[in-house]
Amino acid sequence: MGIRPALQNFDRVAATRQLNERSEPMSLQARKTTGLTLVEMTLVIATIAIMAGLAVPAMRALVRSFQSEGGAISMINAALNSARTMAVSRQRYVGIRFQKLCTSTDPADPLKGLMDAPQYMIFIEHVQTTSTFDLEDGFQAVEGLEPVKLPSPMGVMELNWIAKDADIDEPFELSDATTFSIVFSPAGKLVTHDVRVRNRDGVYRPDNTAGSNKESRDDVFNSAANICKPKVGTFVPRGMFLQDDYFPRKNGSAGQTDGLNYGLGEEPGCTSFVIYQTPQLRVVYDKKIAWTGYLSGLATKAFYVSPYTGNLISAK
CA terminus-to-terminus distance, the chain: 110
Q: For strand 148-149 and strand 180-184, is the pairing parallel, antiparallel, or unpaired?
A: unpaired
Q: Where are the alpha helices (DSSP H) in the chain?
A: 3-32, 38-67, 69-90, 171-177, 224-228, 278-286, 290, 296-298
**Running DSSP on this structure, what letter comes out for residue 294?**
I
Specify the pLDDT at position 11: 56
Q: What percent of the chain has pLDDT over 90?
A: 59
Average pLDDT value for residue range 126-150: 78
What's the rounded Cα separation, in Å, for the pair 172 and 292? 19
Is the model more confident about 133 or about 47? 47
Please give the model's pTM, rounded to 2 decimal places.
0.77
137 pLDDT higher than 80: no
pLDDT digits (tens, 9 = 90+) for 257-301: 677 899 998 899 999 999 999 999 999 999 999 999 999 999 999
Q: How confident is the model at residue 33 (pLDDT cuts 50, 70, 90)?
A: low
What DSSP line would sit under 228-255, residue for residue?
HSPPBTTB----SEE-S-B-TTSTTGGG
